[in-house]
């Protein structure tokens, strides 16, 4: 494919790829047929949306996109058992993972059960002492005091732990990749079971829990009873979907779109308190879910008390909400400090090993298990390859991995575990966790690298920058940005639209902090466009822009609305630049 605007190698080393001639033709036809702005039609055409489908895509309705919960195996059994526990006033425990998806899943159940007058016991395992998922001692204790244990965002691979829950029924609501056999639970509802079709494999655990509640409400209606309001729970589903990096396609897109509207009402005490401590002063977006709220909720499970996030999301006490939000905010600051130290060491080690391998990995003594996943994400971004980071302690190491689009890390980790090179491991395509014996570390990573290489993970160089077309500064106005937002929300598998602005002048530039650069761009006539290049001086982009010398350059990035001191303006989040 020929380079867009002739940019074979930009300031950041990338080739620019623009829309194909066919995509241009489809977009222009759609613009004529629908009267929608051409830049918006380019986005829709790139998503495979036709002119006839445009209106429905721009206003996704959950009632049109929500799958039948009963299309998932064991769903009827799971929902029926939960209803029976409610009606029989049985003792219910919820065993949840310690991340945002697990906390939101637990809060969904707690909120629904509370509306029906049924309390439940929350159990979240300690990341360091117990590790991920159900463990036999905890399940045995819970079974001794409860009739039903619902495992959320975990449990699909926990054969021994589920078997230990003698005397209690176990229902698993999960989305992690399943093995060849299932644990001895009453029901395992998981779109990533090996005997599922895969049609709903993009759901996070909170979405699976939500579908179970939809089915439970349906069973209640059949019995002549009304169930709790489920639409009010969509803020939790949206939060989990974005924070767990689930692809924003199909029903996920509707979940997030509707969930952001619920979140904007600020009715959930925990999220309201957390938004305030995070200084959120504008309508929530996926960015806020993924980068402001999500990391703070995760901080409890990473370096604090594992159940803080779930408790915050489920609380109905404003004083508890405020206290938990402040505690999580403090823990998040501590987490960043720990992360920075581990990141520097891991990056140095990975660079010494080589960033051009199919798997980029690092392992260090005493690296905190709560930050290895975040650091793995940083290595992945630096190398554009799957990455694994492992903290070693005693004879074992506990690690976490992050992958790139098109490379299924979870399946590869699970295979290495099945082959005996890992103590345990699993996950989903974009993220995975593992435990490894110290003396098998090198062999396990070599084997994992081999498996990932077979999926194409060794493709060299930075990824191409894909652009949705050309714009001039004068076209970047409020109306266009608002029109483009209708194609959102943007996130995993649904990237925000990026445009190139050709042959512009930099009329003003100022360094902000140590790494950022603020600029004003001009078309050489009267139109101006404000721009910000975050982290520009962490890459060659900053020096390139600083050395423009008055010459015209091509720039590329995403348009957004910037709110500052009560003023809203259009801004370009500048991501790359090149010489004409």
Q: What is the 3-state secondary structure (H, E, C) of 334-367?
A: HHHHHHHHHHHHHHHHHHHHCCCCCCEEEEEECC
pLDDT score recorded for residue 480: 95
Which residues neighbour 33 within 8 Å (Cβ) at sequence distance 6 or greater? 51
pLDDT score recorded for residue 75: 98
Query: Residue 522 has which token pair?
Result: 């001009």
pLDDT score recorded for residue 209: 98
- Give the domains, in start order, of the chain with CATH numbers: 4-14+467-578 (2.40.50.460), 19-56 (no CATH), 65-327 (3.90.1640.30), 345-453 (3.10.310.30)
Q: Which pLDDT tens digit goes with each residue over 359-386?
A: 999 999 999 989 999 999 999 988 889 9
What mean pLDDT do residues 502-508 have? Answer: 96
What's the chain's average pLDDT? 94
pLDDT score recorded for residue 564: 75
DSSP conformation class of 178:
P
pLDDT score recorded for residue 237: 98
Cα–Cα distances (Å) from 375 to 314, 352, 446, in that order, read 29, 16, 20
pLDDT at 393 over 70: yes
pLDDT at 293 over 60: yes
More confident residue, 52 or 128: 52
pLDDT score recorded for residue 290: 95
pLDDT at 188 over 60: yes
- Asked if residues 418 and 389 have their Cβ atoms less than 8 Å apart, the reply is no
pLDDT score recorded for residue 129: 87
pLDDT at 409 over 60: yes
pLDDT score recorded for residue 462: 62
Query: Residue 534 has which token pair?
Result: 């975050």
pLDDT score recorded for residue 566: 72
pLDDT score recorded for residue 525: 87
Assign 418 a pLDDT band (cuts: 50, 70, 90): very high
What mean pLDDT do residues 56-75 have? Answer: 96
Q: Which pLDDT tens digit goes with each residue over 450-460?
A: 999 999 887 65
pLDDT at 420 over 70: yes
Assign 163 a pLDDT band (cuts: 50, 70, 90): very high
Assign 526 a pLDDT band (cuts: 50, 70, 90): confident
pLDDT score recorded for residue 86: 97
CA dist 431 and 398 (Å) reads 14
pLDDT score recorded for residue 562: 86
Share of the chain above pLDDT 70, in %: 99
Assign 461 a pLDDT band (cuts: 50, 70, 90): low
pLDDT score recorded for residue 460: 55
Q: Give the 3-state secondary structure percentages of the chain, helix then strand then coil, rounded to 5.
A: 45, 20, 35
pLDDT score recorded for residue 254: 96
Which residues neighbour 163 within 8 Å (Cβ) at sequence distance 6 or greater? 136, 183, 184
Print burial letters for 81-92: b (CB count within 10 Å at least 16), e (below 16): bbbebbeeebbb
Report which of 370, 382, 268 is spatially closest to residue 314, judged by C-alpha positions.
Answer: 268
């Amino acid at each position: 494919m020929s380079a867009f605007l002739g940019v074979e190698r930009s300031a950041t080393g990338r080739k620019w790829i623009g829309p194909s001639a066919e995509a241009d033709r489809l977009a222009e036809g759609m613009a004529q047929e629908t009267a929608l702005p051409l830049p918006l039609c380019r986005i829709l055409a790139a998503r495979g949306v036709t002119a006839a489908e445009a209106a429905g895509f721009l206003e996704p309705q959950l009632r049109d996109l929500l799958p039948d919960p009963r299309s998932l195996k064991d769903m009827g059994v799971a929902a029926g058992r939960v209803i029976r526990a409610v009606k029989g006033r049985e003792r219910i425990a919820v065993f949840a993972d310690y991340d945002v998806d697990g906390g939101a899943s637990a809060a969904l159940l707690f909120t629904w059960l509370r509306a029906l007058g049924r309390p439940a016991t929350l159990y979240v395992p300690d990341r360091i002492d117990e590790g991920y998922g159900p463990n036999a001692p905890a399940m045995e204790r819970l079974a001794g005091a409860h009739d039903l244990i619902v495992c959320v965002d975990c449990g699909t691979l926990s054969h021994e732990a589920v078997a230990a829950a003698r005397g209690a029924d176990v229902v698993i609501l999960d989305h992690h990749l399943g093995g060849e056999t299932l644990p001895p639970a009453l029901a395992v509802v998981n779109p990533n079971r090996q005997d599922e079709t895969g049609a709903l494999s993009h759901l996070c655990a909170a979405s699976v829990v939500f579908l179970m509640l939809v089915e439970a409400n349906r069973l209640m209606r059949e019995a002549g009873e009304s169930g709790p309001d489920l639409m009010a729970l969509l803020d939790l589903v949206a939060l989990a979907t974005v924070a767990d990096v689930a692809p924003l396609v199909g029903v996920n897109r509707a979940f997030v779109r509707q969930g952001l509207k619920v979140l904007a009402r600020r009715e959930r005490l925990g999220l309201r308190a957390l938004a305030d401590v995070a200084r959120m002063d504008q309508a929530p977006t996926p960015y806020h879910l993924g980068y402001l709220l999500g990391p703070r909720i995760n901080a409890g499970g990473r370096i604090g008390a594992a159940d803080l996030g779930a408790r915050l999301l489920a609380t109905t006490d404003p004083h508890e909400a405020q206290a938990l939000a402040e505690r999580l905010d403090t823990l998040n600051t501590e987490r960043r400090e720990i992360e920075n130290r581990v990141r520097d060491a891991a990056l140095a080690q990975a660079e010494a090993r080589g960033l051009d391998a199919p798997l980029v990995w690092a392992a260090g003594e005493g690296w905190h298990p709560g930050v290895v996943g975040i650091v793995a994400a940083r290595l992945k971004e630096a190398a554009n390859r799957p990455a694994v980071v492992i903290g070693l302690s005693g004879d074992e190491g506990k690690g976490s991995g992050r992958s790139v689009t098109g490379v299924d890390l979870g399946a590869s980790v699970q295979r290495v575990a099945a082959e005996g090179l890992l103590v345990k491991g699993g996950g989903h395509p974009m993220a995975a966790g593992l435990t490894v014996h110290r003396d098998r570390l090198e062999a396990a990573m070599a084997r994992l690298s081999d498996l990932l290489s077979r999926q194409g993970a060794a493709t060299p160089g930075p990824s191409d920058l894909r652009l949705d077309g050309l714009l001039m500064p004068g076209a970047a106005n409020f109306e266009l940005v608002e029109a483009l937002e209708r194609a959102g929300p943007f996130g995993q598998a649904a990237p925000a639209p990026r445009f190139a602005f050709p042959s512009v002048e930099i009329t003003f530039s100022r360094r902000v902090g140590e790494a950022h650069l603020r600029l004003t761009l001009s078309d050489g006539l009267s139109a101006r466009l404000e721009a910000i290049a975050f982290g520009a001086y962490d890459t060659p982009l900053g020096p390139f822009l600083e050395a423009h010398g008055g010459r015209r350059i091509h720039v590329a990035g995403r348009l957004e609305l910037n709110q500052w001191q009560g003023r809203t303006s259009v801004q370009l989040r500048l991501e790359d630049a090149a010489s004409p």
